[in-house]
């Protein structure tokens, strides 16, 4: 089964308190989502391989460590996943960005795919799938299916708020995918919203309510 990591870092928890607050406006919400995504990515990339290289400092030659060139891909689930991209790409500018467009049918809560565009070298990349919300898990399961169908092998899922139902759905469908959350919330309500959650992530990011 894929592992579940829930970040208890004080900076993440502090920023999340503002993200959850209904009085936080769009501009601040967008900035905070990016900041939390960056802090999460810092930890998620801890196992990236390094190689030793020789450089010259202004003082003398030195052997230093650089990333060994592992190829990374970020895949935001549209729309709300877009809110996490900038924060992460600032840290990992060489990552390529693919997109999976899914929306949740409001009646059935089932994901409907409407767009997929991935880097051409899918098979060579490790992917971080991004979505602030892991509710029923339908969208994440479908996005990961979509990546695997196109050849992706190594996938991690990064979400800000997750419900136990969503975690279970991803673990059941994709036992090779580790899940990283800023918070594991209590449950889903009757409309499939995460409780206490943060509301509709897409609407709060893009001001569409
Ligand atoms: C939201 C959210 C996730 C999905 C989570 O997207 O951003 O993608 O719901 O729910 P699930 O785990 O039950 O699938 P939504 O369908 O509202 O689309 P949007 O991002 O375009 O607003
Ligand atoms: N999608 C959201 O944006 N929020 C939720 O709580 C659940 C799904």
Q: Pocket around ligand 1: residues whose beta carbon is below 6 Å from it?
A: 77-80, 103-104, 109, 111, 131-140, 166, 192, 201-202
> Per residue in 178-187, pLDDT tens?
999 999 999 9
Q: For ligand 2, what atom is nearest to the CA of residue 197?
A: 6
Whether residue 104 has pLDDT greater than 90:
no
Catalytic residue among 86, 126, 178, 200: 200
| Contact criterion met (CB below 8 Å) for 126 and 72 | yes
Number of H helices, E strands in the chain: 6, 13
For 7-52, the pLDDT digits (tens) are 999 999 999 999 999 999 999 999 999 999 999 999 999 999 999 9
CA distances from 116 to 17, 145, 157 (A): 33, 12, 17
Task: Please state the pTM of the whole predicted model.
Answer: 0.96
Q: From ligand 2's centre to the CA of 65, what distance in Å?
A: 41
Task: Report whether pLDDT(70) > 90.
Answer: no
Tens of pLDDT, residue by residue over 134-162, are 999 999 999 999 999 999 999 999 999 99
The answer to whether 53 and 78 have CB atoms below 8 angstroms apart is no
Query: What size, in residues, is the chain?
Result: 209
For ligand 1, the distance from its centroid to the CA atom of residue 56, given in whole angstroms, is: 49
CA–CA gap between residue 71 and residue 53 (Å, rounded): 18
Decide: 201 in ligand 2 pocket, CB within 6 A.
yes
Residue with tokens 């409407």: 114
Copy the structure tokens of residue 101. Answer: 């467009």
**Which two structure tokens, joined as six digits, stand for 66?**
């650089």
β partners of residue 56: 61
């Amino acid at each position: 089964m894929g592992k579940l990591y829930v970040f208890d870092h004080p900076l993440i928890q502090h920023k999340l308190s503002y993200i959850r607050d209904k009085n936080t406006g769009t501009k601040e919400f967008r900035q905070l989502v990016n900041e939390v995504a960056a802090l999460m990515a810092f930890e998620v990339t801890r196992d990236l391989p390094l190689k030793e290289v020789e450089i010259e400092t202004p003082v003398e030659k030195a052997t230093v460590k650089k990333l060994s060139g592992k190829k990374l891909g970020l895949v935001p689930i549209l729309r709300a996943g877009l809110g996490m991209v900038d924060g992460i790409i600032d840290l990992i500018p060489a990552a390529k960005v693919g997109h999976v467009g899914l929306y949740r049918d409001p009646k059935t809560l089932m994901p409907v795919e409407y767009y997929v565009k991935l880097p051409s070298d899918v098979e060579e990349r490790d992917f971080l799938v991004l979505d602030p919300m892991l509710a029923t898990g339908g969208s994440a399961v479908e996005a990961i299916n979509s990546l695997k169908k196109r050849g992706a092998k190594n996938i991690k899922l990064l979400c800000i708020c997750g419900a136990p139902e969503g975690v279970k759905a991803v673990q059941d469908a994709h036992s090779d995918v580790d899940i990283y959350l800023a918070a594991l919330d209590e449950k889903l309500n009757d409309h499939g919203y995460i409780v206490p959650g943060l509301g509709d992530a897409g609407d709060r990011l893009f001001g569409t309510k």
